[in-house]
Amino acid sequence: MSRLAKMNVLLAVLVLGLIASWAALAAAQPERNPLGNGLPADPSRFRPGELDASAVTQAENFAAYPVAWLGEEFAGFKLTKMFRANANGQDAVYLIYGECVPRPDAQEPSCVPPLEIVTNAPGTVPAPEDARLVNAGELTSVRGAAARALSGSPFIWTETVAITIHANAPFVEEVLASLRSANHGALQFDEVSPGGSLREFGR
């Protein structure tokens, strides 16, 4: 078997494993997005967006804690925004991919972007076994890290941060396989590549 064929087989095995993991994570309700005021995502309103070069720089140089991302582009959606929400007990970095066109008659916030990767600071999210977690799916693992769905969105607990994915179901398996480290250079920790272990992310 050629090296390329072996790599294709390994990738297929990884994706199948992630699909099985997501099946355990998935909850009955549709994915919800906190930036969309609880609105379900509407793919007909999705647009690729324009790459924000400053968001790339901010992600790669963020110095407070490790950040996960999908690079400058994912599934045709550009990295359009990065911001840090740090108030009222929350500390998280949001990376937004793509844009959403609001409906003409809708009130703001009227639209949910295609994809968000949220990295929650250490200690800001209860442990995966914590009884305080509500609307929690089955506890499982993704790429070596504890994981479960909370209100329909996958949460992954690494040894440093908790990573949240807000996306429609067709994207989730590929997102789980493609997550990688953004600021390993700035914080000088081991780079995490797509498919690599997430358990020691940021160590």
Domain residue ranges of the chain, discontinuous segments joined by +: 3-187
Q: Which of 102, 49, 70 is nearest to 192 (CA)?
A: 70
pLDDT single digits (tens) 18-64: 434 444 444 333 333 444 444 567 888 899 999 999 999 999 999 99
Q: Which of 50, 49, 55 is nearest to 100 (CA)?
A: 49
Query: 44: which residues sit within 8 A by CB, 6+ positions away?
Result: none
Give the chain's end-to-end CA distance (angstroms, integer). Answer: 36
pLDDT single digits (tens) 64-108: 999 999 999 999 999 999 999 998 888 999 999 999 888 777 666
Mean pLDDT value of segment 183-190? 97
**CB neighbour class for 54 (10 Å; exposed up to 12, middle 13-18, buried from 19):** exposed
Inter-helix orientation angle 3-25/169-178, to 10°: 130
pTM: 0.80
Helix (H) or strand (E) holding 153: strand 153-157
Distance CA 22, CA 55 (A): 28
Contact 56, 79 (CB under 8 A): yes
